Structure 1
Amino acid sequence: MKKFALAILALSLLLGAAIPAAWAAELTTEQKFEALKKQGILVGMGDGNPRLYELMTREQFAQVLHRLLELPNATGKPTYSDVLKGRWSFDEIEAVTEAGLMVGTAPRKFSPAATVTVEQLASVLVRAYGSPAGAATVSGKVSNWARMSVGAALNNGFIASRSDYTAGATRGVLVDAVYAYFVKTQQSPLNVRSVEPITNQAVKINLLQRAETVDASLFLLQDSQGTSIPVYQAMLGGDGMYVILTTGTQAEARKHYVYVGGKAWEFTSTRSDTAKPLITGLTKSANRTYVLTFSEQLDQASAANPSNYSLSNGLKLKTLQLSADKMSVVFTTTTQSEGVRYYLTVKNVKDAAGNAMDTRSDLSFNGTNDDTKPKVSSVQINPSATLSVRFSEKVDPQLAIQTGRYKIDKGLSVLKAVIDGEGRTVTLTTSAQKDATVYTLTVSGIPDAAGNVMDTQTNLLFGGIANPVLPIRLQSISAIDENTVEIVFADRALTDSDIAKLNFVVLQDNGANISMSGWSRYVQRKAGSDRTVTVQIRTSGEANPRLFSPGHYYLGRVTGVESLLTDEGKNDMKFGGTVTSNEAPFVTKAVALSRSSVKVFFSEPVKNVNETSFAIQEQEGPAVAIDYDELNNTGAVVTEVILRLKDSLSPGKVYAMTFKQGVTDAAGWNGLKLKNGGSDFNVLFTGI
């Protein structure tokens, strides 16, 4: 998705000075509509009016989902008889259907002009977001099937609480929900506590929670007269609890608004002639070369005076120079000792107005004589159309994820950059690629851990993938009995190849590492679902072991599925044990279909089905001979079978079916139930 800051920028320019006076203001539904409209996610009706109070149709919802999630167009035959290729919403409806987000209202019927209820809206957005975990309590009127999804939508802020969730959803409800979803799925929002001015070119953003990274594009600044002020730089404080923004010159003593994650935070700018200069950053630009960045322009004499700078542990300055824009000081040092932490003290540096800075002695860097620059060692296109950029060594994680450091030709944009745990591979998500097209990637400005900045590399080639394998996300793992887990995935259906290659391991039991040496797994699809599998486990010594005990929690990991999201442990998940045992498969019922055939139903999928595993006898009468089973395939996994009889059944007579060894569960590990206590297990049925 496009950066949300761009939407807010467009909105702020549109609204001009009409900004709420509250110190942290929420956008109205109309303002949210304008922001999403600028992103191309929402459009007005034919006359441009948003018509927020009109009910939303299913095809309008499909159109919004298509744009919000940037879904690829479907390529197969039309799914619905009431949505033909000539209809304006054909591509959008086929795309959301293929993605599994919306389904028909009847066989081959989509009902495009029908309205959408609030609970249907909530269910689709929760399905798109991924997990209903942590659902809120629902007190209003809601259908049983939608209760969990509505609770999750409330918990995630997609919808507001109401008395009736079965009511139709207006376009205004859609706008609020899509806006909340859009903000939530962007770069993790900063949890802002307050905003305070430092100088008329610097603003401090105080946080409630520690942040790991920031980017200047997350912030927008505007004064009370509607004038936009550029944000040049965003520097995260050493403890991660505040951000210093370096901005263009702010008008003195005027109200200003910083937009962060869709909220406007108000402050009044300082008077420039009394503000002290501040150090906003210390970075390494080359071997033993560092850049001190200040909040405003500096006085040449004091900034270039070596006596105003000192280093600990015997390290000396070699050169010192004020930059051309007078906003930063570049210095080099003598030879450093590897691994030694050096502290820099800066004092008496003045701004252009003569205000002297407060002394700083907390700036530090680790000594190193490493002068080897990082390089891109490989570029690989993945089946999901993401691009893996591998570096020759660990790189700076904060700079490596800045999308502006990657450029691709032929109009392809880099939308997102994620670095792996090792710190050497960055995965790029791009805009839609074209088939049969060669692209050129250019990478620049990324330093290694020692601060050595790479030389710009270009001519990094890769071929486009127009129909990528969509990423798939692990949604849940749950124990359904003592040795079987159910695994649910989100975002796309599982292929046969995914099932064949899926691997599941249990890493921990109550936080302690465990070994699965000697364990075997049997993976199969769950009937009626294209995103769920069951994994049955046995040990080398026991076919039906007690593995997942009640009161215990376990850590499981899933691998092998094509394009499964694995960064930051997304393929790891905890699940609880259960008291439910893995019962042997058994026959649930037998039904006479005719005088010469009986249909048998099993409690779970089974295999090794053969007529020799069954016996039929009339109660207080003779045995009935079985001729053959219609399946005639002992390797097939089935839930029912039809037995053909040599002898005829008598209408109204009661028959007992008993069982012999042979039939097993789908894994082949547990045999069919034969006994009920000391007696043969039997199922009764009546002849016809």
Structure 2
Amino acid sequence: MRKKWVSLVMTLMLTSACYSSIVSGAGTSLTTQDKFEVLKGKGIFTGFTDGSARLNEQMSREQFAAVLFRLMELKDVSGPPSYNDVLKTRWSYGEIEAVTEAGLMKGMGVGKFQPGSPVTVEQLATILVRAYGSEGSSNNGVGGKVSSWAKSAVAVAIDKGIIPIMYDYTGNATRGLLVDATYAAYQKMSTPEYKPLHVKSLDVISNTKIILTLDEPVSVLKPDNITIRKTYGSSKLIIRQATLSADGKKVEIVTDPQESATQYILTVDDTTKSFVSLSVDTTKPRIINFHAVSNYWLSITFSEPVDASSATDLKNYGVNNGLYMYRAELSNDGRTVTIQTNEQNAKTKYTFVAYNITDLAGNTLDPVTYTFGDEDQSAPTVKKITSDTNRVTLWFSERLDRDSAENVANYVINGNLGYPTRLDYNDTNQTVTLTTADQEDGKAYTLTLKNIKDLAGNAIKNPTKVNFTGVNNDVNYSLYVQSIRSLNWNTLEIRLNNAITANDLSQFNLIVNRDNGASVSMSGWQSYVTLQDSKTIRVQYRTADQSNPNLFREQHLIEASVYGLPKLNTRNNANVKSFAGTDAVNDVPSVREIKALDSRSVQVLFSKPVRNISKDAFILQTKDGEYVSIASESVNNRNKVVDSVVLYLDSPMQWNTNYALRFTGAVTDAAGWNAMKVTDGANPYTVYFKGIGDNNNNNNAAPRMANISSEDPYNIAVTFSEPVKNAAKGPYSLWTNDDRKIVDLKEGENATFEVSEDRTKLYIHLFADQLDSLTYNKSYKVIYQRDAGKIVDDEGKGFDEGKGANEAGFKAKGKEHTAPYIDDAYVKDAKLVLVFSEAIQGYSNQTNYFEIKINGDTITPDAGQLVNDKEIRLSLPKSYFKRAYGSITVTDAGADHITDINHVNVLQESVPFRIK
């Protein structure tokens, strides 16, 4: 059950001992109609369309469920219907499912809820007692007619004043009785009970402020129960204000100035605590350091601890040039404030001002101003231009002013195309996509630009002319958008039918067209685009003023278009897809797992990829609250996106001792927009773990092999117990258990070694032309020859010398190894582009490795070029650049030399292509 607790702030007046308390304002003389109006104002009752309450009518079970839903502030639940007579289309479906899930109401048997049936008085009493949390027995009996199963609940309901004494409790309840009963339950739930305060500790903050930490939370504070006197003497210290924290665990007391270095005794209820007052602090706080931590964070360090409420109030800070401040956070020591902003422009100078911030004694910071960033004086330029079917995309050197970028009058195309029919500016990619009238395929066009400005107001050179080649529908399309779906309220996943490259992804653009039929403006939107696998794109969005907005809402149908990808089919709106919104929140990163690797290193695994890792992002404490210094961390690059980090400590942890890790908010999601979880309700977000190491000496544990696996006949993955150095230098041996044979693995001779980015894994790639493949389900063992090896951890500790630490067994699980092949072939910029299924080697610009046929003629390329490890470009004779169909096959010479990393030869399959 969910209760409403009232957090009270009690302030004593200077001239009297009276104080004000916040209580429910309803009296006992209210009529049932008055109570109905109160509950209607609270949104618990709704009334009928004619405005009447109909207090004498019977209340149905579904009407009662709706009242309970609003009274208890329940949330909608998902899943299949619980009853066969309450379908999803019924108005009360959500309320009935919620009260059922909460255990407040139950079905009437055989899968039925009977929503239209009346509610009896004893049913009403039982459910409200259950909701109030007072199920049990009563010392008083029930005199009227009541069912045996309801006697106890009816007695409790009478004791609590929820229902009156009646002759017959088995009869149907009227809406008036439900109003009276609901009002009584609401009053009791809204008025918390006073509990004596048990003080765990007392902290003296300043000469006028004291903080009490309680053993258990309370919901009501009575300041007149608190007194403060001198230990030696009878004079009472005047309390000006006593405030209960939101979580009910702390009381902040403000007093008249205390005599310096004087002993006082505080008494509250049955607890007594003594303390010695501090000297009067009259020194104003100062800012001793200000700097931009990253493009999204500012850091301010004060000369002393400051008041949290003033330091985290964004009204006490100002910054110009359109930079938004989203939130301010104060560090645990109370001295450093970090402020999250929207993205700071690379060529913009900002002015920052801070004022009205007080220290713990109430002294106020003098206004102070800082400048940061660089002034932008350069005009935007066009970096490149790409064309698609009746579309042209311009890639600019910097972010643009959206109004000028989306002004149709600033663009004109010759050759009867004129002004574009539509403009779409993508702020993240710094691109403008123009939709044009029908272009003539292959025709050269000139686009003239003018009056386009960057964010600093610098205008592009007037006029700027760029050329492009027209593209129309007569194209050999091979890439299709299969689906778009919302993963959460601001992240989309786009599935494609064919693989794309990182270079292809750089040209990707997505435009949200409609939301429930209404046009969508993406003004101020920014996107973070990643390739999850070769056929899946993930896009996370934010807006100018929200880093984690709810863009793709539940029960909304949204339409979006994909542009820019090479060979993307856009005919007949094939690139346009509709998808449903979702209620899934884009959760900020949190900790998935934490564990001590040894006495001086701790591994933190996150719930999702993150960036902005640094040692200052973490706060490590013992169970007693002592701080543990973090010397360094394994990432060493704030811009690097990772899913884990190893923290290295200055001193060893204690064996089997509990440790707590908290977070400053510097670590963000991969986009850099949302700080990881730093609070859990009203408390700091904390993860706990136990220290490990040598029981006596707390030594740093040496690295060792933790696990080995093989999902492919020629590839093995070795996992180490922690990040290591020199793993690729080996040497390693491969042992076959069944045959009792051992093979030394030598880099470049029969295998090659590759280390993962986080240095916890080693990938061993066996050469197929030198070694037999691993046999499925056969047992093997990898042995590290530590006497000749140089593997160490980040603290220089050598490999574990314990028995078996340098070897690990595994069963081969891979049945087949897929040979590399030409995945796609197409003509671009007068070259035939070959895209392979995986990284290849053995090609160095040969022209005899491929047989090309165009319209029946066998063609030899003029030249060849390996662009990257998956792409080859072949130059064809100019005479063949006309509309034609062709095919390409790897020759025997090519198959002998082109292989994957395992020396498996490329397949000799014929792949078609088309020349426009």
TM-score by length of 2: 0.24
Which protein is richer in helix relative to its size?
A: 1
Structure with more relative contact order (C-alpha pairs < 8 Å, separation 6 or more): 1
Q: Larger radius of gyration, structure 1 or 2?
A: 2
